Amino acid sequence: MNRPSWLTCKLCILLFAAPSVVAQKATPIPVIAQRGAAKQLIVDGKPFLMLAGELHNSSASSSAYMEPIWPQLKALHLNTVIGTVSWELMEPKEGHFDFTLVDSQIASARKQSMHLVLIWFGSWKNTSSMYVPIWVKRDKQRFQWAQQHDPPTPDHPKRGLYALSAFCRNNQEADARAFRALMEHIRQVDPQHTVIMMQIENETGILAEARDFSPAAQAAWEGPVPDELLAYLSAHKTQLLPELATTWQRSGYRLHGTWSDVFGTDRYAEEIFSAWYFGKYADAVASAGQKELALPMYVNAWLVQNEKQIPGDYPSGGPVSRMMDIWHAAAPSLSLLAPDIYIADFEGTCDSYARNGNPLFFPESRPIPGNYVWAIGHHNAIGVAPFAVDDLKPDDPLGQLYEKLEGMMPVLLKAQETNAIVAIPPRNSGVITIPFEGFEIDARYVTTRISNSPPATTSDSANGRRSQQAVAPDVSITSGALATGQTGYGLIIAAGPDEFYILGRGISLTFNRPASETNDWVMYDFEEGVFLNGQWITGRHLNGDEGPTLRRLTLPDNGLVLRRVKLYRHVGPGSVG
Footprint of ligand DGJ (CB under 6 A): 57, 126, 202-203, 340, 364, 387
- CB closer to ligand DGJ out of 58 and 100: 58
Strand, helix or coil for residue 178? helix
Q: What are the phi and psi torsion angles at 481 (to 5°)?
A: -70, 150
* Least distance in angstroms from the C-beta of 340 to ligand DGJ: 5
Buried b or exposed e, range 148-168, using 16+ CB within 10 angstroms: bbeeeeeebeeeebebbbbbb
- Name the burial class of residue 260, with classes exposed (0-12), middle (13-18) and buried (19+) by CB atoms within 10 angstroms of its CB: middle
Cα separation, 137 vs 421, in Å, equals 50
The amino acid occupying position 158 is K
Q: What one-character DSSP code corresponds to residue 386?
A: -
- CB closer to ligand DGJ out of 47 and 363: 363
Cα separation, 180 vs 333, in Å, equals 14
- CB closer to ligand DGJ out of 312 and 425: 312
* Least distance in angstroms from the C-beta of 54 to ligand DGJ: 8
The amino acid occupying position 260 is S
Cβ-proximal residues to 399 (8 Å cutoff; 6+ apart), any chain: 75, 76, 77, 392
Q: What is the DSSP string of 190-251?
A: -TT-SEEEEEEEES-SBSSSSS--SHHHHHHHHSBPPHHHHHHHHHTGGGS-HHHHHHHHTT
* Least distance in angstroms from the C-beta of 180 to ligand DGJ: 23
* Closest by CA position to 232, among listed 327, 317, 311: 327
Determine how many CB atoms are found less than 10 A away from the CB of residue 353: 27
- CB closer to ligand DGJ out of 117 and 424: 117
- CB closer to ligand DGJ out of 190 and 364: 364
* Least distance in angstroms from the C-beta of 85 to ligand DGJ: 13
Cα separation, 442 vs 431, in Å, equals 7
- CB closer to ligand DGJ out of 361 and 387: 387
* Least distance in angstroms from the C-beta of 126 to ligand DGJ: 5
- CB closer to ligand DGJ out of 270 and 340: 340
* Least distance in angstroms from the C-beta of 300 to ligand DGJ: 6
- CB closer to ligand DGJ out of 172 and 365: 365
The residue nearest ligand DGJ at its CB is 203
* Least distance in angstroms from the C-beta of 116 to ligand DGJ: 16
* Least distance in angstroms from the C-beta of 127 to ligand DGJ: 10
Task: Put residue 419 in one of left, alpha, beta given phi > 0 → left and psi -120 to 50 → alpha.
Answer: left
